[in-house]
Structure 1
Amino acid sequence: MSSQLKAQIVLDRNYKIARVDERIYGSFIEHLGRAVYGGIYDPHHEQADEQGFRKDVIHLVKELQVPIIRYPGGNFVSGYNWEDGVGPMRDRPRRLELAWRTIETNEIGTNEFADWANKVNADVMMAVNLGTRGIDAARNLLEYTNHPGGTYWSDLRKSHGYEKPHKFKTWCLGNEMDGPWQIGHKTAHEYGRIAKETAKAMKLVDPDIELVACGSSNTGMATFPEWEAITLDHTYEEVDYISLHQYYGNHENDPANYLAKNMDMDHFIKTVTSTCDYIKAKHRSKKTMHLSFDEWNVWYHSREADKKIEPWTISPPQLEDHYNFEDALLVGSMLITFLQHADRVKMACLAQLVNVIAPIMTENNGRAWKQTIFYPYMHTSIYGRGVSIKPILSSPKYDSKEFTDVPYIDCAAVFHEENEELTLFLVNKHLSETIHLNADIRSFEEYQVVEHLVLENDHLKAANTAESQNVVPHANGESTNEGGQLQIIVPKTSWNVIRLKKFMM
């Protein structure tokens, strides 16, 4: 094995970051575009089940092993009356949906989505409307979903055919309330007050729930990170998580700079963590605030097309990014970033899951297929469960338009002690050079490589379609362990998953 460029990693089983909370592999379904109607729900499809849910989509979602799914929004939730989506479907009203300027039919609501989540083996992260509504609607929805019975709202649920409560554990207190685009946008103090009082009421209804307060919508917000400081100053003892949202794009067609953008995500996480710890110290609290990165992805391909969509239509094709190979590489690096911060990032939601900036695409009444970003998301979800190990990395670096000292190699490692498995996740960002990586794994000397998956393509703009899967992983990666020194060939612009298992000598 030889290569012009070399990198080194030291992995020691004692260099533990934290146990990975599997909910960092969560996702998101919003009443937006074709995510629900035409995505997960298409009653006229040949593969629709008895409730109208597409079985081909259910199969693909189950491949991803998504542990938790945020619902019903998103910007949508800030104008949503949850009562519109329960009860007999024939009685549900059609509404003007103001966030995305469409018609919402309300065919799918809280109970149906709970059913679908059960079919894909996922928990639900519910969101309450703190835009046009507030404490009363939030506590009533919680009573409807979680209370066993004997009260107005819980008995109403029973009358709708759901005898047992859904027991949704995780709840978002609104969505992106720092954003001027948000219906019911608030200042940090206004939001902090209503979030605190809503949290108090909800935990009186069900003390076992956990709550997520709205953080900044992205790092470019003028109020970042003061928003987090003010919001948490109000809510620190009432909430369990603060949210982060971030999307990236390659508008300038500068792949070297684009592939470095997970460094902005890393800075975002570190800044919010520092702000949380400042408020912890200010309040003399013993509680550590954790992070919910409950919207993240690549989003830029569809923005121009979305400007041409006719308003007040039903489930138009909004935010339908068709992802290419370089998008998959950045998604892989973002997932690696979460693993590097497993001590504080406990939940994350790839936004979204089907059709809308999603790893899964469908045709109405037609086919479903995997986008390029499906693969790094699936690999980390399946193999990235256990304890995140801190890699001591020495990598060649480069500078780009926005970033300096960008390592060509991104790396995360997860040790699943119970299964005696060690998995390395690697991205090589170099546009033209293979990198020879030496990983010192003497702490795992008895572990041998059982699989080296590689996602690579000579064309950064290569994409998958219903007709052709042009970007798919292969298992022909080159890596061997010789005396505790793992030698890895990391191809140019590639996503790599190296799986090792313990073998007794």
Structure 2
Amino acid sequence: MLPVSLTLDPAFRVGPVRRRTFGSFVEHLGRCVYTGIHDPGHPTADEDGFRGDVLELTRELGVSTVRYPGGNFVSGYRWEDGVGPIGERPVRLDLAWHSSDPNLVGVDEFMRWARKADVEPMMAVNLGTRGVQEALDLLEYCNVRGGTRLSDQRRKNGTEDPHGIRMWCLGNEMDGPWQIGHKTAHEYGRLAAETARAMRMVDPDLELVACGSSGVVMPTFGEWERIVLGEAYEHVDLISAHAYYWEEDGDLGSFLASAVDMDHFVESVTATADAVRAHKKVSKRIHISFDEWNVWYQKRAESKPPTGHDWPVAPVLLEDRYNVADAVVVGNLLISLLRHTDRVHSASLAQLVNVIAPIMTEPGGRSWRQTTFHPFAQASQLATGDVLRVAIDAPTYPTAQFGDVPVVDAVATYDDDAGQVALFAVNRSLTEHVELSVDTRSIPGLRLLGATTLANPDHTWAATADDATSVLPQPNASAAVDGGRLTVRVPPVSWNVIRLGV
């Protein structure tokens, strides 16, 4: 058993836990919307056609914000198609995913769903095929109380009060050559600045997210952020980060260390933003919206869109079935996001239902929780107060991608008012049990409230509609607190949560 020492100390505060860290994403992609959140023939469907079982699971997951309607989809989207009488809405080709969209769900329906799910909406505007005016039109439709053509159209369509959407994404992945209307950094930076400036003329208090590079592996990464923020720094609040390239491809050791890569990503974007800040000689800081992140097996057949003359509605796309190792990596990525709470002010697990998602559904039938559901739900529920950076003294193991990596990664949160600590830790070792010895003397009087472990001797076990409960977070009876020290034994490839209270 490998010994690992951790130290908890309130002096190691990083910043407050941000509820927006626990956001998700709903795109018109595959079965995320149709037969995902919206399935009028389902036994649990409400008067708006939304699945009650999915709403219940969304609330259980603890989602705080939901980004909508894309994603790649938004770069060709005409929001006007999705408002007004259902029978008059056109069916449109979705070039991003080679599908058809019947526009049965649009902005008004999504906002009704968001209220039912108790989530904050994060709306994206099309800066691929459209521009400043179309963004202003959508903002007017959504947020102006009345007395104008578009706000009165919303009222006529059945929504009297404005939607009051605060967070807006200025396009999506605009450096990606797969993106409809993709642009150079200078082209996009200027467009983002002009769109932001105009939107603030309607409402100066909006929170606006500029597109960062589509990923750290992009040749544009770093320079894209520098140029875009050079154009738009004064007009936006956050810059986006997207990452999906973590998957287990036969190198399990590197896969389990994926959070090392996320740490590098966040710190690189932060350094670039701060360099622009220094150059501009301003006090304002730009923070990060990590509004697309997940494990995604992009080489699998279900990630290949239809081709040719086949333009189906809601095809099976990106429906990864996640195993125990995937859940441990998702938990470790959450540790990384929390550890950077001083600069990551918003994040979105992409996506919510069916599409690389923690929630799966059958059309008209069952729903179930994937393995990745559990670390997200636990972190969302238990992370309160301030994030504490945990001092870790652990042996390392070699990885092909990241060199020598500590076998344990961890972060903690400390709620002064409640007198409670939540410690989140992963054992990334493929074979070795670990004994954690945690020095808690800086927070006197802590006692054990509970400890759970998510693991399985077969790390490839995945939940299905027939069996979603054989592997769940289970009580860890080895946890104990004595004399200002917590000890707990954790198995290989595991996600662990320990709760302590005064």
Question: Aligning the two structures, in what range does the TM-score lie when normalised by the shorter sequence?
Answer: over 0.9
The answer for the alignment partner of 1:48 in structure 2 is: 45
1:222 aligned counterpart, secondary structure = coil
The answer for the alignment partner of 1:9 in structure 2 is: 6
The answer for the alignment partner of 2:26 in structure 1 is: 29
Amino acid at match of 2:228: T
- Residues 430-469 of structure 1 deviation map (CA, whole Å, 9 limit, x = unaligned): 1111111111111122111111011010111100000012
**Is residue 301–residue 321 contact of structure 1 (8 Å, CA) maintained in 2?**
no
The answer for the alignment partner of 1:500 in structure 2 is: 500
- Residues 361-408 of structure 1 deviation map (CA, whole Å, 9 limit, x = unaligned): 000011000000000010111111220011111111111111112111
- 1:78-157 map, 5 Å: 78-157=75-154
Give the distance between the partners of 1:121 and 1:213, measured in 2 at CA: 25
How has the CA–CA distance of structure 1 residues 477 and 22 changed in structure 2, closer, same or farther, with 3 Å as cutoff? Answer: farther
- 1:185-196 map, 5 Å: 185-196=182-193
How has the CA–CA distance of structure 1 residues 185 and 308 changed in structure 2, closer, same or farther, with 3 Å as cutoff? Answer: closer
- Residues 224-249 of structure 1 deviation map (CA, whole Å, 9 limit, x = unaligned): 11000000000101000000000134
Give the distance between the partners of 2:33 and 2:341, measured in 1 at CA: 31
How has the CA–CA distance of structure 1 residues 463 and 301 changed in structure 2, closer, same or farther, with 3 Å as cutoff? Answer: farther
The answer for the alignment partner of 2:463 in structure 1 is: 464
Amino acid at match of 1:200: R
2:497 aligned counterpart, secondary structure = strand
Give the distance between the partners of 2:4 and 2:18, measured in 1 at CA: 29
2:277 aligned with 1:280: yes
Amino acid at match of 1:466: A
TM-score, normalization by structure 2? 0.98
1:14 aligned counterpart, secondary structure = helix
Structure 2 gaps of 5+ residues are none
1:432 aligned counterpart, secondary structure = coil
Give the distance between the partners of 1:61 and 1:252, measured in 2 at CA: 30
The answer for the alignment partner of 2:61 in structure 1 is: 64
Give the distance between the partners of 1:418 and 1:180, measured in 2 at CA: 49
Deviation at residue 301 of structure 1 after TM alignment = 6.1
- 1:171-250 map, 5 Å: 171-250=168-247
2:417 aligned counterpart, secondary structure = coil
2:235 aligned counterpart, secondary structure = coil
The answer for the alignment partner of 2:249 in structure 1 is: 252
Give the distance between the partners of 2:480 and 2:285, measured in 1 at CA: 41
Of all paired residues, the percent bearing the same amino acid is 51
How has the CA–CA distance of structure 1 residues 182 and 476 changed in structure 2, closer, same or farther, with 3 Å as cutoff? Answer: same
The answer for the alignment partner of 1:447 in structure 2 is: 446
The equivalent position to 1:270 in structure 2, one of 267, 270, 286, is 267
- Residues 320-363 of structure 1 deviation map (CA, whole Å, 9 limit, x = unaligned): 00111110010011000011101000100000000000000000
Give the distance between the partners of 1:25 and 1:477, measured in 2 at CA: 28
**Is residue 323–residue 371 contact of structure 2 (8 Å, CA) maintained in 1?**
yes
TM-score, normalization by structure 1? 0.97
Over the aligned positions, Cα root-mean-square deviation in angstroms equals 1.1
Amino acid at match of 2:79: W
Structure 1 gaps of 5+ residues are none
The answer for the alignment partner of 2:357 in structure 1 is: 358
Deviation at residue 416 of structure 1 after TM alignment = 1.5
Give the distance between the partners of 2:412 and 2:184, measured in 1 at CA: 40
Give the distance between the partners of 1:95 and 1:471, measured in 2 at CA: 42
2:337 aligned counterpart, secondary structure = helix
Deviation at residue 65 of structure 1 after TM alignment = 1.6
Give the distance between the partners of 1:211 and 1:226, measured in 2 at CA: 21
- Residues 302-322 of structure 1 deviation map (CA, whole Å, 9 limit, x = unaligned): 732333745300100111001
**Is residue 420–residue 499 contact of structure 2 (8 Å, CA) maintained in 1?**
yes
2:11 aligned counterpart, secondary structure = coil
Give the distance between the partners of 1:240 and 1:305, measured in 2 at CA: 36
**Is residue 331–residue 373 contact of structure 1 (8 Å, CA) maintained in 2?**
yes
Give the distance between the partners of 2:305 and 2:122, measured in 1 at CA: 32
Amino acid at match of 1:359: P
Amino acid at match of 2:295: V
**Is residue 304–residue 317 contact of structure 2 (8 Å, CA) maintained in 1?**
no
Which range moved further: 460-469 or 297-306? Answer: 297-306
- 1:267-346 map, 5 Å: 267-300=264-297, 303-307=300-304, 309=306, 311-346=310-345
Amino acid at match of 1:438: S
The answer for the alignment partner of 1:479 in structure 2 is: 479
Give the distance between the partners of 1:427 and 1:41, measured in 2 at CA: 35
Give the distance between the partners of 1:112 and 1:451, measured in 2 at CA: 40
Give the distance between the partners of 1:305 and 1:125, measured in 2 at CA: 27
The answer for the alignment partner of 1:74 in structure 2 is: 71
Give the distance between the partners of 1:342 and 1:308, measured in 2 at CA: 35
Deviation at residue 58 of structure 1 after TM alignment = 0.5
Which range moved further: 353-362 or 200-209? Answer: 200-209
1:243 aligned counterpart, secondary structure = strand
2:403 aligned counterpart, secondary structure = coil
